Structure 1
Amino acid sequence: MENLKRVTIAEGIPGTITLLQRGVVIRAVAGMSIREFMEEALGLSSDYAETRVRTIFLNASPVDDIDGVKIQDGDYVSLSGALPGICGIAMGRDTVISPFRSEISAKSSDMLREGEALIYLKLFNLIAKEAGPGLLRRGVLAEADDIICALGENAPQGLAETDGTVHLQI
């Protein structure tokens, strides 16, 4: 993955939130906690990670313990602000009823930080809007066909669906 095509887009073009919802890939360190992943790999402030990111899924399981749950290569992480209604209450982090879904929640791990991990990341609602530009400034890996589909007429010139995985940056 070192010889990837590099693609640059303008900040704020329509379709970037759609792309972040479709998913991008982030390089991280295996064994990072979810908190460390948000702060170190994504560049979110500690306060933002704690107060704004209210719904987190790791491989489709809700996460409550952002310090104990660790990532590993190939994991899928989804980040969202507070979700509305019963879904928000049921799947949100540290809610009064989150103990009732303990069977489906992501479990803490004692995994050590070691080796590279490619993490599939999806950002939703206000997290995509607020944190997305900073993430794209840092650079992400994305599939060319996802970029073309999400950005439509705003997709970078010369980018072809057959380009596969590319390094995308603002």
Structure 2
Amino acid sequence: MEPWPALAWVLLLTTIPDLLKTAETRDFTEQDIIYLHPSTTPFPGGFKCFTCEDAPDNYECNRWAPDVYCPREARYCYTRHKMDIEGDSVSVTKRCVALEDCLSAGCTPMDYEGNKVCTTCCEGNICNLPLPWNETDAIFATTSPLSGSLRLSKSYAMTFCLLILTFFISS
């Protein structure tokens, strides 16, 4: 056998392990989002969230998230990130949620299997792009007041004060 074919076989066999290596995962970035022409919302204030259930990592979740508007009763984007003892992603869940689902934002201590879960909520169109990795990231971020009841109670208080003032003026 000539030396060149033998050398070609040696080179080919040494590159096969490199070809069989699994691809490294990468994070989903804003550059991965393709902004098309703006579409009309199904109702005023309509928005979208990345949505997935138990995806293996953030990239796979965001990459395959359906492009649909959140229902009217949902006001926030929710993210649940489960990590193993080394800090690698085990699962990612994202969806549209109501206020009640956001009140427990934060991280749990490691469980008996060595997993930690961090949850976060945000308000805004596709605001749940990143994952919460620790207590600093696992927050409930809003851009508007959490409850309309504060405004309602202020208006009731103002009405009550006007009634009392009217009563004293007419007496």
The TM-score with structure 2 as length reference comes to 0.25
Larger Rg: 2
- Which structure carries more helix by proportion? 1
The TM-score with structure 1 as length reference comes to 0.25
